[in-house]
Structure formats: structure tokens, C-alpha cells
Amino acid sequence: MLNTGDIGMLRSLARLTAADASRSSHGGATIAAHTQHMRYGLSLMNQWASQGGNPFANAKWDEAWKISSVTDTQWAEIRDGFGQEAQAWLEVLKTPREIDGVGFSGLVSSIAHLAYHLGAIRQIDGSARGPKAGTF
């Protein structure tokens, strides 16, 4: 779903320092918070895919949004953890399975959810942006 020349989310995040990840736009959530939020959401999706049940019932969605500034070590842990969850989720998406309507909606909405947060991150820090119009 990427434009030609777009390096994608994981490599975009790898470009950012801890100071970059600690930035927000107009007092909103930081890049680190967006990334941890996506990591947590994918961890729940991966848990659902591997174990079933409803891991969302007791989800603590607000925890990620409390992240403001991060150290180099914290940023690496958030970024790398997100990468691991994203890779695991890609494997889930590649695996054929029987699924009901609610499950299918969850699968599809996970893609839109990630796209939203990638867009938000790219708005906060221009160095994470994709190629400029006319360059792909």
C-alpha cells in the first residue's frame, strides 16, 4: 500500500532519535506515544490471533498516551517492540483462517488504524515522511 520510494513505517521510525520521538505537535501525543499505542494494539491483535478470546476486554489503552519524553534506550525498546509486533501481525495476515464478521472487521480496521498513526507521526516529524509528490 506504499507509494514507490516510500521506505515504510519501520524504517521511518528508525530514522528518528529519542528527542524526535519525544516531540508532539500542538501539545498532542508524542511520536513515542503513537508508536507505543500501535505496539500495544498489535500485541492484543496478535494475542487474539494466537490464543482467541477477547484480550481487548481489559485493555489499558490510556497508558501509551502518558508517554511524553523518552531516552535512547526507551525509544529503542518501544520502536523495536513495535517492529516485532508488526512482523508477527504480518504473519497473521498472511495465514489463511476461518473468521467471522467481527474478526474480519478487526483485521481490516487494524490496517486503517496503523495508517492513521503513521500519518500522524509523519505530520509531527517531517523526517519520517514519505517521498514528495512527483518523486515516485
Ramachandran class of 52: left when φ > 0, alpha when ψ lies in -120 to 50, beta otherwise: left
105 versus 136: the higher-pLDDT residue is 105
pLDDT tens digits for 80-125? 999 999 999 999 889 888 888 988 888 888 889 888 998 899 889 8
pTM of the shown model:
0.88
Residue 24 CB contacts under 8 Å (≥ 6 apart), including other chains? 30, 31, 33, 68, 124
Rounded to 10°, the helix 31-51/72-94 angle is 40
Are 46 and 92 in contact by the 8 Å Cβ rule? The answer is yes
CA-to-CA distance for 120 and 20, rounded, in angstroms? 14
**Quick one: which of 8, 10, 3, 1 has its CA closest to 35?**
10
Residue with cell 473468521: 99
Position 136 confidence tier, pLDDT thresholds 50, 70, 90 = low
CA-to-CA distance for 12 and 38, rounded, in angstroms? 15
Gyration radius (Cα) of the chain, Å: 15
CA-to-CA distance for 105 and 45, rounded, in angstroms? 12
pLDDT tens digits for 45-69? 999 999 988 998 999 989 999 999 9
Q: Is the pLDDT of residue 134 over 90?
A: no
